[in-house]
Amino acid sequence: MAANQNQNQELDAVVVGAGFSGMYMLHKLRDLGYSVRVYEAGEDVGGTWYWNRYPGARCDIESIYYNYTFSEELLNEWTWSSRYAEQPEILRYINFVADRLDLRRDIQFKTKVTAAHYDEANQNWKIQLGDGTNVTAKHFIAAIGCLSASNIPNFNGIDRFKGEMYHTGRWPHEKVDFKGKRVGVIGTGSSGIQAIPIIAEEAGYLTVFQRTPQYSSPTENYVSDPETIRQTRANYKEIRKQMYESMHGVPDGPRDRSALEDSPEERQRIYEEGWGKGGLFSLSYTYNDLGIVEEANKTVAEFIRAKIRKTVQDPEVADKLMPTYYYGTKRPIIDTNYFETYNRKNVSLVDLRAEPIEEITSNGIRTSKGEYLLDTLVFATGFDAMTGPLFKIDIRGKDGVSLKEKWAGGANLKTYLGIATAGFPNLFMITGPQSPSVLSNMMVSIEQHVDWVADCIGYLRENNLEAIEATVPAEEAWSQQCNDIAEMSLAVKTDSWYMGANIEGKPRGFIAFAGGVGLYRQICDDITAKGYEGFSLEASTKALN
């Protein structure tokens, strides 16, 4: 769709974003007979997998679980090539779905949504697009992604650099040529740790600028086994049920045993087994108290540090790579040859805790100890997560109050279920803050939210209702519950993007519901069964105006 064809009509829904969330939301609502348009800033579908094209990008949830589950046909028609598919394959899958469901005809690409204001008199949303046009919709659905606002820290002199600069989350479509170049990578989160080993193979010289050393364990990727795929398809209903009822949206869960119940020898054996299997959960699911009991956490942290010491040949470099925060309180990372990369002759590590970056110069990076000359600079510096993409849109609810103003301080982040917020009727957030979202297999959380929102809109239609809004007491209680659960874990003791700590000036507060996707689904279903308890429902007031 080229120009905005919907200027003069009121749509049932406007959806922002054409990643996994927006695509399923469109399909679902359109199937139920609603008029709906999706607006997407990018040139095509894919969201995360459209933007994050950096070398080494791949998923960390096993591909057989990291796909849509709502359609058995889609499941049976797509076969993943490996345990953890790479970005190009995931993007091919997304395009396959878009074609198969004929989604593009209702998506307007290259179009940013810049503002959305609730019109109380007409009980609808006036939405402004980047091209200056407007559209009106009864429901405004933010499917804008938890990790879609890339973050480039405001380093002094950043505009002076004469070489090439890239952010992992805004990677060009063409291959970036590192051959023979002096490359600097800032950031060692999941993105940096995936990209660094591959860039190192091609670059003339790679300098990694690390602020916080990370725990990372092996991915152990392998080619898909046809028999496993056959069995997964044959048992999908049961597997999906397990995913729905689980903690993180995958069929298994933590072993029901404390790390402190085992002898050191037995623990070592268990950790070795988990390490050997590879993947996101093999190590963290070994015991059920690694995320909550300090002494238990120390055992797994020390296990990984010993692995790093054994892998990295230069003891001084190994020392710089030793993580000290509580394991698992930042998103666990899985890698392929990350620590091994520091044994290469063309790679060096700069510890930014010992020598902070003072400025970016025209020729590279100057730390407190000297200047590093670079041809190419890669920012693997993450995202302004969760609230970042929402705040980029001027969203205003009742009385013209902006979402940004409403959530001004960390403690002020108030949502009901992470889907809605008081004062903003008919605004729905797919995998919004204070939902399980980033703590889970996002596909499970996305599908659950989309289904819930579609059911809710259906309920309004069936009952001749015009608007639904979270009540203040309901969101107060939900936000308190989210904070209480987070406080039980070690996660609140670490500076991480989960806590908003990666963005200068961002209020601190745990950003998600940490009670697990199973419990969360039960709560949502229960609220629906009670006629949308905690929401106020409004009939049409249009006749009165």
| Interaction between residue 380 and ligand N01 (CB under 6 A) | yes
Q: Nearest approach, Cβ of 76 to ligand FAD (angstroms)?
A: 22
Of ligand FAD, ligand N01, none, which one sits near residue 382, judging by CB under 5 to 8 A according to partner kind? ligand N01
Q: What is the largest CA-CA distance in the chain?
A: 76
Choose the stretch contacting ligand FAD; rule: CB under 6 A; options: 171-179, 385-393, 495-503, 518-526: 385-393
Q: Nearest approach, Cβ of 330 to ligand FAD (angstroms)?
A: 14
Looking at beta carbons only, is 44 or 538 nearer to ligand FAD?
44
Give the total of residues touching ligand N01 (CB under 6 A). 24
| Interaction between residue 113 and ligand FAD (CB under 6 A) | yes
Q: Nearest approach, Cβ of 403 to ligand FAD (angstroms)?
A: 13
Q: What does 81-138 look like in DSSP terms, one character per residue? A: SBSS-BHHHHHHHHHHHHHHTT-GGGEE-S--EEEEEEETTTTEEEEEETTS-EEEEE
Q: Supply the DSSP symbol for 471.
A: -
| Interaction between residue 190 and ligand N01 (CB under 6 A) | yes
Q: Which of 40, 331, 21 is nearest to 146 (CA)?
A: 21
Q: Nearest approach, Cβ of 155 to ligand N01 (angstroms)?
A: 7
Q: Which of 523, 503, 500 is nearest to 511 (CA)?
A: 500
Residue pointed to by tokens 């510890």: 351
Q: What are the beta bridge partners of residue 107?
A: 38
Q: Which of 61, 386, 474, 511 binds ligand FAD (CB under 6 A)?
A: 61
Q: Which of 248, 258, 236 is nearest to 280 (CA)?
A: 248
Binding mask 456-495 toward ligand N01 (x if CB under 6 A, else -) reads: ----------------------------------------
Q: Do 57 and 246 form a contact (C-beta atoms < 8 A)? A: no
Name residues contacting ligand N01, limited to 200-239 (CB under 6 A).
211-212
Of ligand FAD, ligand N01, none, which one sits near residue 325, judging by CB under 5 to 8 A according to partner kind? none
Q: What does 255-313 look like in DSSP terms, one character per residue? A: -SS-GGGS-HHHHHHHHHHHHHH-SSSTTTTS-S-TTT-HHHHHHHHHHHHHHHHHH-S
Q: Do 500 and 410 form a contact (C-beta atoms < 8 A)? A: yes
**Residue 210, token pair as written in the block:** 């690390």
Of ligand FAD, ligand N01, none, which one sits near residue 192, judging by CB under 5 to 8 A according to partner kind? ligand N01
Q: What are phi and psi of 429, to 5 degrees?
A: -115, 120
Q: Do 141 and 16 form a contact (C-beta atoms < 8 A)? A: yes
Name residues contacting ligand N01, limited to 395-454 (CB under 6 A).
438
Binding mask 316-335 toward ligand N01 (x if CB under 6 A, else -) reads: ---------------x----
| Interaction between residue 423 and ligand FAD (CB under 6 A) | no
Q: Which amino acid is at 486?
A: A
Of ligand FAD, ligand N01, none, which one sits near residue 56, judging by CB under 5 to 8 A according to partner kind? none
Q: Which residues bind ligand N01 (CB under 6 A)?
A: 59-60, 147, 153, 168, 186-192, 194, 211-212, 331, 352, 380-383, 438, 497, 502
Q: Which residues bind ligand FAD (CB under 6 A)?
A: 16-22, 39-42, 47-48, 50, 52, 57, 59-61, 66, 112-113, 143-148, 191, 389, 392-393, 430-431, 441-442, 446
